[in-house]
Amino acid sequence: MTQSSVAALFDWGVHDLAERSESSRADVSLLMAHAMGRSRGWLVAQPDALLSEEQIAAFVELCNRRKRGEPIAYILGSAGFYGREFLVNDRVLVPRPETEHLVEDALGFIRGPVRVLDVGTGCGAIACTIAAETDATVDADDVSPAAIEIATENARRLGVGDRCSFYRGDLVEPVRGNRYDVVIANLPYVPTGDLPERPEPASFEPREALDGGPDGLGPYRRLLAELPALLGDRALTLLEAAPPTISQLAELVRRALRDWVVTVCNDYAGLARYVRASASPGAAGGPAAGIGPGAVATGRSR
């Protein structure tokens, strides 16, 4: 290909990716916009525009990476989460839409300048979103130095660096002795035997972000041994896991937090996705109830 129009190359790309991607049209549009340094809207408006040889070569290379299974977010270097863009690379998990449910739940609960902990923050999607949407102060940690680096950069870019503190360390070790109003964790929860293999997109993600041990609940067992000491009197905790293990996780939470109200909540697909535990019945209703001195403008930006 020495010269080609946007429309012709678009069709070629869709055909090229069709076998490997269920979202080939959307992928091609994102990849071509990225290769050309243009918006997707510009591509739609300029179907007859010609690509240079360099742009064609760059686009073909991006398509090849996608064909090998690499997640589109790694190729583009960013992922959307709750209406914001987060820098990502192959050293952090790509934040998932399911996790937005936990954020939404927390936002309904938070009132005023409360303290929030995000355990296993990855690219900082949960921590930064909560800081951006509320007046909360957020601590977040991760065992991965690369995650702490990228989460810190995301907080800076999103203008919430002053209310987010990121620590490198194992589970609660960096924040032991603190008390929080909200503790959220999306820890690795894939059973080791079910870890994805190439060319599945998730196989490109760091193993330490996925591997939950033999039954997928290893990291949560360790967290639950320390969780009660971290939670304030009227706190909320939200723990994401896989649908097949969620009832077992709920049982572990009930044992760790006796007398708390423990429920299992669903994701967009109607699948059981996270365990919610609130300290008092007054806080169990989710969005209507909350803690803190007064209402906070949450300013949802989706």
Ligand X SMILES: C[S@@+](CC[C@H](N)C(=O)[O-])C[C@H]1O[C@@H](n2cnc3c(N)ncnc32)[C@H](O)[C@@H]1O
What does the binding site for ligand X look like in residue numbers (CB under 6 A)?
92-93, 95, 99, 120-122, 125-126, 141-144, 147, 170-171, 186-188, 208-209, 219
Write down the least CB distance from residue 61 to ligand X, Å: 27
Closest approach of ligand X to the CB of residue 97, in Å:
11
Taking Cα atoms as reference points, which of 282, 293, 291, 288 lies closest to residue 260? 282
Q: Which is nearer to ligand X, 9 or 209 (CB)?
A: 209
C-beta of 169: minimal distance to ligand X in Å? 7
Nearer to ligand X, 143 or 239 (CB): 143
Helix (H, G, I), strand (E, B) or coil at 39: coil
Task: Report which of 174, 302, 186, 177 is spatially closest to residue 237, judged by C-alpha positions.
Answer: 186
Looking at the Cβ atoms of 33 and 187, the one nearer to ligand X is: 187
What span, in angstroms and rounded, lies between the C-alpha atoms of 106 and 23?
A: 31
Which of 85/289 has CB closer to ligand X? 85
Q: In terms of CB distance, is 27 or 142 closer to ligand X?
A: 142
- Integer Cα distance of 27 and 13 in angstroms: 9
What backbone torsions phi and psi does residue 54 show, to the nearest 5 degrees? -65, -40
The letter for the amino acid at 80 is G
Closer CB to ligand X, 166 or 260, in the complex: 166
Residues whose CB is less than 8 angstroms from the CB of residue 169 and which lie 6 or more positions away in sequence, other chains included: 141, 143
Before 199, cis peptide (omega within 30)?
yes
3-state secondary structure of 242: coil
Coil, helix or strand at residue 173: helix
With both helix axes pointing from N to C terminus, report the angle between 53-67 and 6-17 in degrees, rounded to the nearest 10. 20
> Rounded to the nearest whole angstrom, what is the least distance from the CB of residue 302 to ligand X in the complex?
17
Q: How far is the CB of 121 from ligand X (least distance, A)?
A: 5
Could you tell me which of 219, 15, 212 has the C-alpha nearest to residue 119?
219
Provide, rounded to whole angstroms, the least separation between the CB of residue 147 and ligand X.
5
